[in-house]
């Protein structure tokens, strides 16, 4: 009997019922040849979210895959309720990690509070809870396209400040330790980035909304009006068919374009472990820098 190795061809299948996202099969993300890489990179720009089931990426493989998209802002961070000693964080303790896990259940864009916002991220599932813990994504290109003309014109020249202190303290989470030291990535004391509400994608030229929980305080607008406008934009943008919530299976990996998508964590039973790995791709300073401070 001859044994033929059946190799499934690389397939990129758009998600149904959404404006974005595709599932990629027939490829090992950790071992892409140049032709497969070109196809995947083009699909990433088109669909903004690629889902690769059954990858089981090892640490080095995930970092190498993420680096195909560009230099990294950081290589690998655990997004998890499991401590390094293997015990579970107690939800009610509400420690610094728990506060960020909870905070990230609001729609947001990564690292907009840093001088250069992230280009994207590779995110993979090692241990998943039986219920919940989905990750939501929202297409800000389609959201921008769906705005009416007057609203497009109104926001075209507007910008907002982005800050993790703002978004966390809005949830009642103190972002400084009692000794005055900051605790956690992104809780810096540097200048607060100002970013335009309408972002032009540096590679596709498409416009998208740059909003989410870190955005606040639009210059030239009173605080309440600014909050209202930003909230209205998020409420409008993050609706079907512009959203997709991924229900994770261990071994899944995704890569998203942080220059045109928002994302959010969702609750799970924190008596169950959840271990996810996040590799953050650095933005290009030429296109992802904040505006110069006025
Ligand atoms: Fe995030």
204-228: pLDDT as tens digits: 999 999 999 999 999 999 999 999 9
Ligand 1 centre distance from Cα of residue 45 (Å): 19
The phi and psi torsions of 152 (rounded to 5 degrees) equal -55, -45
Domain of 254, CATH number, reads 3.60.130.10
In a domain, 117, yes or no: yes
Paired with 265 in beta bridges are: 135
Q: Is residue 253 part of a domain?
A: yes
Residue 34 has pLDDT above 90, yes or no: yes
Q: Which two tokens stand for residue 282?
A: 């650095």
169, with CB counted inside 10 A (0-12, 13-18, 19+), is middle
For residue 289, tell me if it sits in a domain. no
Ligand 1 centre to CA of 257 (Å) is 12
Q: Does the residue 6 lie in any domain?
A: no
What is Dmax (Cα atoms) for the chain? 77
Cβ 153 vs Cβ 186: under 8 Å: no
Domain-embedded: residue 292 = no
Model confidence pLDDT, tens digit, residues 71-112: 999 999 999 999 999 999 999 888 888 888 899 999 999 999
Q: How many domains does the chain have?
A: 1
> Is residue 98 a part of any domain in this protein?
yes
What does residue 221 show for φ and ψ, rounded to 5 degrees? -130, 145
Dist. CA 111 → ligand 1 center (Å): 8
Q: Is 284 left (phi over 0), alpha (psi -120 to 50) or beta?
A: beta
Distance between CA atoms of residues 275 and 133, nearest Å: 10
Picking from 72, 114, 80, the residue whose alpha carbon sits closest to that of residue 214 is: 114
User: Which domain, by its residues, includes 208?
Assistant: 11-284
CA of 17 from ligand 1 middle (Å) equals: 24
Flag whether 90 is in a domain: yes
24 three-state secondary structure: strand
Q: Rounded to two decimals, what is the model's pTM? A: 0.94
* Helix ranges, 126-274 (H): 140-146, 149-155, 164-170, 223-237
Distance 278 CA to ligand 1 centre (A): 9
């Amino acid at each position: 009997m001859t044994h033929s190795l059946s190799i499934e061809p690389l397939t990129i299948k758009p998600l149904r019922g959404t404006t974005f996202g595709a599932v990629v099969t027939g490829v090992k993300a950790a071992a892409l040849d140049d032709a497969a890489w070109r196809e995947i990179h083009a699909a990433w720009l088109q669909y903004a979210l690629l889902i690769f089931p059954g990858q089981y990426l090892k640490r080095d493989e995930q970092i190498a895959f993420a680096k195909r998209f560009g230099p990294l802002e950081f290589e690998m961070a655990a997004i998890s309720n499991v401590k390094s000693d293997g015990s579970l964080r107690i939800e009610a303790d509400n420690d610094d990690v728990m506060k960020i896990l909870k905070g990230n259940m609001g729609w947001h864009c990564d690292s907009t509070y840093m001088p250069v916002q992230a280009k994207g991220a590779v995110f993979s599932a090692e241990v998943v809870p039986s219920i919940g813990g989905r990750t939501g994504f929202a297409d800000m290109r389609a959201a921008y396209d769906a705005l009416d003309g007057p609203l497009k014109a109104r926001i075209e020249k507007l910008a907002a400040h982005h800050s993790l202190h703002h978004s966390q303290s809005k949830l009642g989470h103190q972002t400084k330790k009692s000794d005055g030291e900051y605790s956690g990535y992104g809780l810096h004391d540097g200048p607060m980035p100002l970013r335009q509400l309408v972002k032009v994608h540096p590679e596709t030229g498409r416009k998208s909304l740059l909003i989410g929980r870190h955005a606040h305080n639009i210059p030239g607008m009173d605080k309440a009006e600014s909050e209202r406008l930003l909230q209205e934009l998020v409420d409008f943008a993050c609706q079907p068919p512009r959203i997709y919530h991924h229900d994770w299976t261990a071994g899944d990996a995704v890569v998203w374009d942080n220059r045109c998508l928002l994302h959010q964590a969702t609750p799970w039973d924190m008596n169950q472990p959840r271990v996810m790995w996040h590799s953050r791709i650095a933005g290009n300073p030429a296109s992802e820098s904040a505006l110069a401070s006025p």
